[in-house]
Structures are given as C-alpha cells and as structure tokens.
Amino acid sequence: MNVHTGMPDTTEPPPAVGRRPPSAELARLLRTGPFHAALRAAIRARGLALHRVRHKLAERGVTVGVTSLSYWQQGARRPARSESLRAVRALEDVLDLPPGALLRLLEPVESAAERPVGRSYQTLVEQADVLRSLLTELGAPLDGGLHTLDHWERVRLGARRELLARSSQQAVGAHREGVDRYLAIHHGDAGCVPELVRVRADENCRVGRVRWRPGVPVVVAELLFDTRLRPGETYVFGYTVQDGTGGESHEYVRGFSFGGGRYVLQVGFDTAALPVRCRSFTRATASARDCEERELTLSGGNRTVHLVRGDAGPGLLGIGWDWE
C-alpha cells in the first residue's frame, strides 16, 4: 500500500466533473497501488492498446515509447525522471482518471509496508550466500535482464512425499540489451543431493552450465536461447528439473524479482501419499511470515491443487501442505 503521514490513505480520489467513476477494482488499485497494477487496470478499463495510448499522448505533446509504457504497466521500471512524471500526468487525462490519481502512487515510500517495484532474488531465498557465489561463478549480472510475463509451473510429489520434478513453461520480456539466457534456480528440500539433480531443456532453449555446492540443496542452470533479445522483445521457453533426492516435502515456493506477470502453479500428489490440508500463501522475503493464506481443495481425482495469480511478485508465492 502507499502510506502517507504514517497512516494508510483510505480516501478515494473523487471523480472529476464529466469523468466516469472507476470500477471497484480500479478504484481499489488507485487507492492502494502499486503503480504498475493501477496503470494496467486503467489501460484495460479504457480498452486501449499501447500504441493507441502512445498516439493519444503524442496528441498532447508527450512522447513515450510503447516499450516504456509496457515496462511501466508490468512493474519492470518505474517513472522517475521529470519528463516521465509529465507523461504520467498526461496519462491520467488519456485514461480518464482524476488528476493526481497515478502520480500519488509514485510519491516517496514512507513505510516498509510498501513493496519495491523490483527486488533482488537473493533477498527471496534462504541460501543467499551460496546463490550469490554460484551466480558470480556463472558471470550473471545482478539484473538478468528478464521479467516474467506468463509462467505455468507443474510440480510432482512422489510416494515417499518427496519432490520428484517440476516443469516450467515461461513467457518472458527483456528489459536489457542482448539477453540470451535464463538462469533456472532450483531449491531442493532437506537431504537433496544437488549433483544428482538433472535439468532438461524442453522447448526453445538448451542447457548450458550447471553449478551447485556439495551438501547445499541449490542448483543453478543456464538455459541458453537461440537469439539475443532486445528491450521490449519477448521469448517463450520450457524446461524440467528432475530431483527426487530430497526428504519429505512440505511446500513449493516461487520467487519473483519483478512484479506484473501471471503465474499458475499446480502441485500433483501420488495416490499413495495424499496431504490432509493444502493452502496458498505469499511472503515478502524468505524469512517473512506467510500472508494471504487461502485453503485449497484437492481436485483432479483428489490429486492436485493449484493457484492462479494475475499479478505475481515482487516477493514469494507458493503452496504448502500438511501430511497426516
């Protein structure tokens, strides 16, 4: 939430004369933020494609590229410079919003309750030191240059209650020049033997270097693309991590450095080992308490649970389960 004078702002910006009042969802986002989600909802409410938004801004003497607009509504970047803030003022007019409705969401944060637009992945994991060492060994920049647009993930549990495998199908967007790879980070459960974990390229990528540390349940694998992406370009790829080496599993968690993408997670259980309770949750960091907990019901012949989040991250999102 955006916080002003130490307290949450619970007032809605009143609609200006001649403007249609926003929908309940858009009004909530204009009140609480974050900026990128409110902007995306406002664009959707007006039914405008980004090139039309750019055209209408140009009519008002403001030049903003489609790529920048896309970054803003995905949460990959945040307007900060004076010309960008001028564009946001013009956006309020284009999107039929009250003056200041979007700008107020860009005001300086006064509370730790406000999540940043982007967050280092290393703040989202427990083995941060090991992960940092592995990323350095692979020559990975602090910002990999990619943000998630759409991510479908399937996790399979075995008869011993162990994590057998997880498969990912991802659509990503580039916000840095020359991106040609994705680093897949796997966190096994206690007892995981990292050298026995296997990474398989399923679609539009190939496996490059794979790194781990003995005794630490973290594996980092390069997934190499067959092209170099420019800012604003997208890419779709899929891969599978085969584990099965760890002990009893109790949750699966996915970390997001940037916000704005859709995430779908499905967890499937063996009929010989079904949980008695499942729930979805979010966490701000690896050490934070669970938030937004919601009970999940087994489906698919009482073998699977799932969650769908249209605006995942920054932070952690997952499913946990209890055994009998």
Distance CA 102, CA 147 (A): 23
Q: Where in the chain is the domain with CATH 2.60.40?
A: 121-322
Fold category of 121-322 in CATH: Immunoglobulin-like (2.60.40)
Closest listed residue to residue 234, CA positions, set 313, 179, 183, 185: 179
Query: Ranked by mean pLDDT, which of 183-192, 195-204, 286-295 comes out on top?
Result: 195-204
* pLDDT score recorded for residue 67: 84
Q: Where in the chain is the domain with CATH 1.10.260?
A: 3-106
pLDDT of 9 over the 60 cut: no
Q: Within 10 A of 262 (CB to CB), how many other CB atoms are there?
A: 15
pLDDT of 11 over the 70 cut: no
Mean pLDDT for 119-136 is 66
Distance CA 285, CA 221 (A): 23
* pLDDT score recorded for residue 320: 96
pLDDT band at 8 (very low <50, low <70, confident <90, very high): very low
Distance CA 179, CA 39 (A): 27
Distance CA 46, CA 94 (A): 9
For the chain, give the percent of residues with pLDDT over 70. Answer: 84
Mean pLDDT for 110-136 is 55
* pLDDT score recorded for residue 104: 84
Q: Is the peptide bond before 21 cis (omega within 30 degrees of 0)?
A: no
* pLDDT score recorded for residue 170: 95
pTM: 0.63
pLDDT in tens, 276-311: 999 999 887 777 788 888 999 998 787 999 999 987
**How is 223-252 classified by DSSP, letter by letter?**
EEEEEEEPTT-EEEEEEEEE---SS---EE
* pLDDT score recorded for residue 135: 82
pLDDT in tens, 15-51: 444 455 667 788 888 887 778 888 988 999 999 999 9
pLDDT in tens, 75-100: 767 787 778 889 999 999 999 998 88
Distances (CA, A) of 226 to 80, 138, 167, 203: 34, 19, 20, 11
pLDDT of 110 over the 80 cut: no
> Which 3 state secondary structure label does DSSP give 118?
strand
pLDDT, greater one: 172 or 258: 172
CATH architecture of 3-106: Orthogonal Bundle (1.10)
Distance CA 122, CA 165 (A): 23
